[in-house]
Structure 1
Amino acid sequence: MKKGYPGLLSIILLLTFVLAACSGGGDGTSRSSGASGSAAANLTEAGTYPIVKEKTTLKVMVRGNPLVEDFETNEFTKWYEEKTNVHIEWEVVPEQSLQEKLNLVLAGGDYPDVILGLNVPPSQQMIYGSEGTFIALNDLIEKYGVQTKKLFADKPEVKKAITAPDGSIYSLPEINECYHCSMNQKMWIYKPWLDKLGLDVPTTTGEFYDVLMAFKTRDPNGNGKADEVPLSITNQAWGSPIDAYLMNSFIYNPMYGDTKHLFVKDGKLDVAYNKPEWKEGLRYLNKLYEDGLLTSESFTQDNNQLIQLGENPDTVLLGASTGGTTAAFTQLLGDSGRWAEYVTVPPLEGPAGVRYAPNDPAILVPGTFIITDKAENPEVAFRWADGLYEYEHTLRSNYGRPDTEWREAEADELGINGEPAKWAEVEPFGKVQNVHWAQTGPSLRSNEFRLSAVAKEDNDLEVILYNETKNNYEPYKPTDVSSVPPLFMTNEQATESADLAKTINDYVDEMMARFVLGDADLDKDWDTYVKTLDNMNLGRLIEIYQEAYSAMQ
């Protein structure tokens, strides 16, 4: 019995080896371990196609996209599979249950090889990266990252932004540098009214007040009624909150991401809303309201309600409003054409000479591509994602097929920035289709890429936004203070700061409305307001942000 046992064990081990060697994907594709010699032999040279000699399958969880009919049958999916020799088994997660689904699969261990387009936040990357669920990509980037290393060389700020404090890179981003988006806290004013009244675009807070008063009292729409609304705002549109533009004539007030109102000066983080300059900004807003120039609805109305005012069918009623584009208060590209009759007002110079155009430091969507420890072929998964940064692949994955949805530019065509163009949209983006991924997953849409698109005509929205930003906001980007970049936080930091920030920001918004509308008195109630912020542990919130910021320097 003892002599026979080693022989039986050998047979069992041999059978196990044979079964393992014969196993593969159900569709005949390989799922061999990335660490094995056979998997390495299956890879082609980095930067070449196909990626693998024998077709390999990856299991990918992807965010559902309302503009994509079916990722499995999508034209770009099929084209990229043919080019890479990598087949994708898709698991599509509805946008509405995105975070819930991700939390469930990570907690339960039933997650795929790759997580795509779920925009996993840095705090979650650190949690699951430190325990090995998300694999660090550093070695893969060094060995196979042909396009990723080019990206890092051209834009070192990208590498810095996605590197955790421990030096690990757990995800690849989607790059979407949008020039006009980077300075989206804009004011728009109705140019025909200025022309009719013989007024210039205002340049100071005093001039702005005078223009609004002229809109209110001089009947610029010419209907003989005092029905003009000088200034009305919605807090719910992109770049539009009431303090997003006007407060920057008093103190730097960026409104980007989770760190709104927070700024960096000389390496130290601080907030705008407890400073004497903020108080003076509130005093100015209160004067606009008290004199009938700013509507009370500016604190409560939604985007659609403001658009109804902006698109009033009988006559123009709205003199000015805020937003990243005129879509905040008009029907963008609508038949009335009213959206194109508003022009931007440069940052207004305040009483103390302050005038800032806040700049958004984020040029990427973090957590777009993650490889998990379930991946048997992490090298294949990484190379598949690395290739998506290529110029043609970015065009195909975001816009569609060459000469159908996009084309190469003609020699005499100019881009949005007035330089020679490189490519042109044939079909407008935004329709439900099944030929591209509609901005899902890694891609490299740099400023250079976006601005090299052919300018369609004089009223091309992208051209308008580029010129308004270049001429009226670029000159006022701050040099002495800056916005806070996206921060990597530990789970504890992220949880504590989220709770504190919600409580504090809700209170700031509430008191801003009360001070502006006169429900609270600036002179009598300001000190109580500041003390309440201190009691809400504002100091601790700033401390957490400072710790995270300093760890990334």
Structure 2
Amino acid sequence: MKKMSMMLFTTFFCSSLLLSACTKDTAAPAAPSTAKESATASNVAPVGQFPIVKDKITLKVAIKGSSLVEDMKTNGYTKWLEEKTNVHVDWTILDEKSSKEQLNLLLAGGSLPDVIMNLDVSPEQQMIYGEQGVFVSLTDLIEKYGENTKKIFSEMPEAKSAVTAPGNKIYTLPYINDCFHCSLDFKMYVYKPWLDKLGLKEPTTLDEFYNMLKAFKEKDPNGNGKADEIALIGGAGSTATKSQVDVFLMNSFIYDDGFKRMTVNNGKVDVAYNKPEWKEGLKYLNKLYKDGLLDRQSFTIDKAGLKTIAENPDIAIGGAIPAHSPSDITIVEGKSGRWLDYQPIAPLKGPNGVQKATWLAYDKVSNGKGQFIITNANKNQEATMRWADAMYTFEAALYSNFGVEGSSWEKAKPGDLGRDGAPASYRLLIPYGRVQNENWAQYGLNYRTDKDYYAGQAVLKLPDKEKMYYDITKKNYDPYKPKLEEIVPPIFFSPAESQQLADLDKTINDFVVSNIALFTTGDQDIDKGWDNYIATLEKMNLKKYIEIYQKALDAKNVKK
């Protein structure tokens, strides 16, 4: 069955790689080394002038849908950006949960959009499609039309490094979110009123965490006389990636980055999920599950489902929930007030003294994933570059993430101070995280710096969301983050290596994730099944997988 699954995936992936090496009977066009000026370039205004085109153009843009945006076509930011740039957008909205599969089908179908935006195109795919000329190299376009982009590259060299492929090719523009609390966002939120009612302190060890959950389950902390408390529940799927139940707890045994679960030890790439410590972490998860403290829905429920549990009407039923922030599981400044009741606890000390926090050190540059790609179907590449570059302004960031000026935000008033006591630059009028039609809910391109964007928001009343997020992260998570050299940086691979990784990466990581669920729930016995699990990883060519990463990391380090 496993072999058949791998064959099916390989077949599907080959069909999705348009003009790639999987298609042997089709001649691939040579990738242009530079972007030549198109016939439509004369319609583009000089850099710094708006609108960016004299005669309105339409761009076909494929983007992942957002449950927080009512309609991208009539959205307030969409209208503002069109008025400013004279660029109209014809949207192709991909399903939020199956966007990767839909993107592959879109690419395989031959009818390409002009722009692929916010679809997390991997560095491997960027290399494959870039080398075939399907994705346009932006290097020359940035040099000529990327006023803001070049400024960002100068101020944040790691952003340029993250998106620069071999041969000085840039196939995607970076999405910048230099958010301190977001970089340490695999947190565990605990419902504090239950701790207070039961006379419990915040747990600091795995044993104390177990005892807290047992009390939540058995001592009726919500006081309704029913056994309806859910002690611990996590989330699954693309909308709940920061709510995976294993990440926070596994970091008490071995470092878990929540994604590929890779680390760098003394310059050597390695993985966590084939180590004895990983096995011990799975045993702890299984113990929580067997004792009824970990809800089975943890491997099926999405972010919306978690929010339904945390915001259960009238009475609280959720005890501990891993999440990025309160906005993931509660309604910030909502009537229930639970966004303040759920508070993140610090990483727990494990049996061998391990106590780590997942640090997404490169997440501020989207870890090299493609967030804005121009395809070879685009006849207005110069105008598209200027349109993208316009999204990097501070004003655009406020429209993109909050909404219309005067409705969702306004300029700071004299005396307004940010979270650090410095003069603020803007006021937020409506809390983020609700379904609306004024902003793109953090989609598009962004240049959000911690200093200007996050610390620049005026603190109008306490508790203040941004100040609270910053303070609790600084106190409970920052002391436990790993060293930067222990984290795998954004890496590009050769086309041949990209082809190999495209299969290996998904096959191996899907297998790991599925076995976390199987071992945790006891559907597969840990002691009896561990050797077979390790043997299967070896058959999946884990050794080659690590070697490819090692070779690319070594090459990246040589270039420094």
TM-score range, shorter chain: 0.7 to 0.9
User: Quick one: which of 233, 236, 239 aligns to 2:242?
Assistant: 239
Matches within 5 A, 1:471-490: 471-479=475-483, 482-489=486-493
2: CA distance between counterparts of 1:447 and 1:546?
32
> Structure 2 vs 1, CA of residues 538 and 222 (structure 1 numbering), >3 Å: closer, same or farther?
same
**What 5-or-longer segments of structure 2 have no aligned partner?**
1-35
Matched, 1:451 2:452: no
CA displacement at 1:159 relative to structure 2? 0.3
Conserved in 2, the CA contact under 8 Å of 1:186 and 1:344?
yes
| Structure 1 residue identity aligned to 2:354 | V
453-462 vs 387-396, which moves further: 453-462
1: CA distance between counterparts of 2:111 and 2:236?
40
Matched, 1:392 2:382: no
> Structure 2 vs 1, CA of residues 532 and 370 (structure 1 numbering), >3 Å: closer, same or farther?
closer
Matched, 1:546 2:546: no
Conserved in 1, the CA contact under 8 Å of 2:62 and 2:94?
no
Is the partner of 1:230 in helix, strand or coil?
strand
1: CA distance between counterparts of 2:222 and 2:235?
22
Matched, 1:469 2:473: yes
2: CA distance between counterparts of 1:51 and 1:314?
52
Conserved in 1, the CA contact under 8 Å of 2:229 and 2:318?
yes
C-alpha RMSD over aligned residues: 3.7
1: CA distance between counterparts of 2:306 and 2:102?
35
1:428-449 per-residue CA deviation (whole Å, 9 max, x = no partner) reads 4566766655544323122231
| Structure 2 residue identity aligned to 1:265 | N
Conserved in 2, the CA contact under 8 Å of 1:368 and 1:442?
yes
> Structure 2 vs 1, CA of residues 131 and 211 (structure 1 numbering), >3 Å: closer, same or farther?
closer
Aligned to 1:423: 426
467-476 vs 209-218, which moves further: 209-218
| Structure 2 residue identity aligned to 1:249 | S
Aligned to 2:203: 202
> Structure 2 vs 1, CA of residues 276 and 455 (structure 1 numbering), >3 Å: closer, same or farther?
same
| Structure 1 residue identity aligned to 2:179 | C
2: CA distance between counterparts of 1:61 and 1:492?
29
Matches within 5 A, 1:121-140: 121-140=122-141
Aligned to 2:92: 93
| Structure 2 residue identity aligned to 1:181 | C
Is the partner of 1:249 in helix, strand or coil?
coil
| Structure 2 residue identity aligned to 1:172 | L
Aligned to 2:417: 414
Is the partner of 2:370 in helix, strand or coil?
strand
CA displacement at 1:176 relative to structure 2? 2.7
1:435-471 per-residue CA deviation (whole Å, 9 max, x = no partner) reads 6555443231222313322335334444433332222
Is the partner of 2:189 in helix, strand or coil?
strand
2: CA distance between counterparts of 1:200 and 1:432?
36
Structure index of larger Rg: 1
> Structure 2 vs 1, CA of residues 490 and 408 (structure 1 numbering), >3 Å: closer, same or farther?
same
Conserved in 1, the CA contact under 8 Å of 2:419 and 2:459?
yes
CA displacement at 1:408 relative to structure 2? 0.8
2: CA distance between counterparts of 1:502 and 1:244?
19
CA displacement at 1:313 relative to structure 2? 4.9
1: CA distance between counterparts of 2:527 and 2:64?
51
Conserved in 2, the CA contact under 8 Å of 1:213 and 1:293?
yes
Aligned to 1:25: none
Matched, 1:254 2:257: yes
**What 5-or-longer segments of structure 1 have no aligned partner?**
1-32
CA displacement at 1:353 relative to structure 2? 1.4
> Structure 2 vs 1, CA of residues 436 and 184 (structure 1 numbering), >3 Å: closer, same or farther?
closer
CA displacement at 1:172 relative to structure 2? 1.4
Aligned to 1:27: none
Conserved in 2, the CA contact under 8 Å of 1:58 and 1:114?
no
Conserved in 1, the CA contact under 8 Å of 2:332 and 2:431?
no
Is the partner of 2:251 in helix, strand or coil?
helix
CA displacement at 1:93 relative to structure 2? 1.1
Aligned to 2:273: 273
1: CA distance between counterparts of 2:312 and 2:71?
36
1: CA distance between counterparts of 2:539 and 2:177?
39
2: CA distance between counterparts of 1:452 and 1:400?
17
Matches within 5 A, 1:76-475: 80=81, 83-84=84-85, 87-96=86-95, 111=112, 114-117=115-118, 119-222=120-223, 228-236=229-237, 237-256=240-259, 259=260, 261-303=261-303, 309-313=309-313, 315-326=315-326, 333-360=333-360, 361-365=362-366, 366-373=369-376, 378-416=381-419, 419-429=422-432, 437-448=440-451, 449-475=453-479
CA displacement at 1:153 relative to structure 2? 1.7
Conserved in 1, the CA contact under 8 Å of 2:72 and 2:78?
no
| Structure 2 residue identity aligned to 1:230 | A
Conserved in 2, the CA contact under 8 Å of 1:231 and 1:321?
yes
Conserved in 2, the CA contact under 8 Å of 1:417 and 1:451?
yes
CA displacement at 1:414 relative to structure 2? 3.0
Matched, 1:537 2:552: no
1: CA distance between counterparts of 2:428 and 2:162?
30
282-291 vs 43-52, which moves further: 43-52
Give me the TM-score of the superposition, normalised by structure 1: 0.79
1: CA distance between counterparts of 2:470 and 2:225?
37
Conserved in 2, the CA contact under 8 Å of 1:68 and 1:436?
no
CA displacement at 1:362 relative to structure 2? 1.8
2: CA distance between counterparts of 1:104 and 1:228?
43
| Structure 1 residue identity aligned to 2:539 | N
| Structure 1 residue identity aligned to 2:549 | Y
| Structure 2 residue identity aligned to 1:504 | I
> Structure 2 vs 1, CA of residues 89 and 101 (structure 1 numbering), >3 Å: closer, same or farther?
farther
| Structure 1 residue identity aligned to 2:409 | W
Aligned to 1:22: none
Is the partner of 1:94 in helix, strand or coil?
strand
| Structure 2 residue identity aligned to 1:248 | N
> Structure 2 vs 1, CA of residues 322 and 411 (structure 1 numbering), >3 Å: closer, same or farther?
same
CA displacement at 1:347 relative to structure 2? 0.5
1: CA distance between counterparts of 2:519 and 2:143?
55
1: CA distance between counterparts of 2:529 and 2:45?
69
Is the partner of 1:92 in helix, strand or coil?
strand
> Structure 2 vs 1, CA of residues 222 and 275 (structure 1 numbering), >3 Å: closer, same or farther?
same
> Structure 2 vs 1, CA of residues 316 and 362 (structure 1 numbering), >3 Å: closer, same or farther?
closer
Q: How many residues align?
A: 512
2: CA distance between counterparts of 1:118 and 1:304?
20
Conserved in 2, the CA contact under 8 Å of 1:186 and 1:323?
yes
Is the partner of 2:247 in helix, strand or coil?
helix
Aligned to 1:505: 509
CA displacement at 1:520 relative to structure 2? 4.6
Is the partner of 1:47 in helix, strand or coil?
coil
2: CA distance between counterparts of 1:95 and 1:319?
34
> Structure 2 vs 1, CA of residues 377 and 518 (structure 1 numbering), >3 Å: closer, same or farther?
closer
2: CA distance between counterparts of 1:108 and 1:516?
40
User: Quick one: which of 511, 526, 532 aligns to 1:528?
Assistant: 532
519-528 vs 404-413, which moves further: 519-528
Give me the TM-score of the superposition, normalised by structure 2: 0.78
Aligned to 1:29: none
